[in-house]
Amino acid sequence: MALIKDSKGRKKNETPSGYERLLGSKELGQLISKLHATVISTGNELEQTIANKIKNSQGIAIADLNKFDRVFKEAKIDSSGKKHDVDVDCVISRNGKIQLIEIKDGDTFDTKKVAGEVESLGLAEDYLHQIKKIDKSKISKHFCSFNATSHDQIKKGAKSLLGNCNPMTGKELCEELGVNFEDIVEERKSQQKENKAFFFDEVEKIKKNYKSN
């Protein structure tokens, strides 16, 4: 898990963050900005954390593990006609079937991001069908919310925009990959103590400075 102390947060020469405007404190705004950046970093690290636990990588592409098997070259064409690659977080190819999986750390998602990610999974599916001549019945699309506990929770968090993408919990993903879900959860907790200590220390410093002014 990422450390708050290592996050840069909003730069001092940038316009005030929403946190600073809300609280009327540049120092508190900067601290919460660092906190927000750390949450994002933690989510970005999730796929690599999972990949590090995989013992049998045959047919599995995630993070740097068999990376090129999850990149679909020029699968997207924009409005100007320019072609772009499509990256899928995780691809599992086993027993003649292919699973295309988007992995999220949270459980409540931005509408536009969900729509874009569902579209990307669809583009990857089209690429496999049209270019690789794989029957669509052999391809499935999944939207994984790693910490969600139910499919209904995932559907609600995705604003009912999943279409024909299947909701998938972190436990279900780990079962597919042959890794222990609880081991990953515990590993990600390992730096919570340091993060809490840093956060509370910074708040105390800000409180003392606030009182002195």
Q: Write the DSSP string, 108-150.
A: S--HHHHHHHHHHHHHHHHHHHHTS---GGGEEEEEEETT---
pLDDT at 10 over 60: yes
108 touches 119 (CB < 8 A): no
Ranking 29-33, 56-60, 128-132, 205-209 by mean pLDDT, the lowest is 205-209
pLDDT of residue 188: 85
Decide: helix, strand or coil at residue 143.
strand
Strand partners, 72: 86
Decide: helix, strand or coil at residue 85.
strand
pLDDT at 212 over 80: no
pLDDT tens figures, 136-177: 999 999 999 999 999 999 999 998 899 999 999 999 999 999
123 touches 75 (CB < 8 A): yes
pLDDT of residue 211: 64
pLDDT-based confidence at residue 178 (cuts at 50, 70, 90)? very high
pLDDT of residue 8: 80
pTM: 0.86
pLDDT tens figures, 55-78: 999 999 999 999 999 999 999 998
The one-letter code for the residue type at 119 is E
Termini Cα distance of the chain: 36
Strands (E), 5-134: 60-62, 71-77, 83-87, 90-94, 97-104
pLDDT tens figures, 125-146: 999 999 999 999 999 999 999 9
Q: Which tokens belong to 205?
A: 């410093």
The ranges assigned to domains in the chain are 4-46+190-212, 57-179
CATH number, domain 57-179, options 1.10.1330, 1.10.760, 2.40.160, 3.40.1350: 3.40.1350
pLDDT of residue 148: 93
Distance, in Å, from the CA atom of 124 to the CA atom of 76, rounded to the nearest integer, reads 9
pLDDT tens figures, 72-126: 999 999 889 999 999 999 999 999 999 999 999 988 788 888 999 999 999 999 9
